[in-house]
Amino acid sequence: MLSNANSKLSKSFDDTIKVMSFGLNVDDTCKSCKIPCYAKQGHYAIKNGSTYKKRKNNYSYVQLNDFIVRMNYHLEQARPKRGKKTKLVVRIHDSGDFFSESYADNWIEICEQNKDVYFYAYTKRVDLFAYRYDRLPSNLRIIFSFGSTFDHMIDTTKHYHCHIFNSAIDLRWAGYNDTSNNDAIAAMGHSKHIGIVFHHPSKKVRDKGFTTLKPSYSKWLGVYTNDQSLNSENIKMY
């Protein structure tokens, strides 16, 4: 059920941390999303490919009454046994999302039963966690992603949350921490303001751009730009 981390996750954490991920197909789980999704493209979307098939199997496993027992077994197998790595970190849903309260409850129980493992997840299903955010296990970080029908439930002063930006300049100007190439900032960093520069396998979609938060400097300067030659040092606030 668990998969080895992709290259971004592997490079995000130091050599003492082993990173694994758990994924579901977006077609099965993502009903509230309003943004172009990377997990609907490339190897994620090849229905006869190994990635798609594994996530399809995972979706079958999470329906079973013994899902918690099964996941506990796989976590035990994944725990570092020797060498430099001493800590296991699991990203829940490198694709897909929480899709029901009972499924979210199962993951919370898994976290409670595996206190030595650190879990984190991005989710657009704010409705499943907002009312109990302060009561989540200490080894679970839930990051609310903007771009869904539940955006109005996100409290940016209280909740770890993530916005998508068209450029790194926009992201920095808005006061967010760039996790585009380092997910450890989101998983274990102190800031609740997490930002990702929009990325997509399709060049046509990338060129069109997408953002869930436009920084105010675009209004002040009277211009909106994706010019990567600009940086925070040569943009002056008036």
Question: Is the CB of residue 209 less than 8 Å from the CB of residue 35?
Answer: no
- What would the pLDDT profile of 149-190 be if each residue is shown by its tens digit? 999 999 999 999 999 999 999 999 999 999 999 999 999 999
Q: What is the DSSP string of 129-160?
A: TGGGGGGS-TTEEEEEESSBTTGGG--TTTS-
- Tell me which residue of 166, 163, 168, 164 sits closest to 193, measured CA to CA: 163
Residues of the chain with pLDDT below 70 are: 30-49, 200-206, 216-238
State both tokens at 52: 């798609």
Question: Is the CB of residue 2 less than 8 Å from the CB of residue 172?
Answer: no
Distance CA 113, CA 116 (A): 9
In this predicted structure, what is the pLDDT of residue 219? 45
In this predicted structure, what is the pLDDT of residue 6? 82
In this predicted structure, what is the pLDDT of residue 48? 59
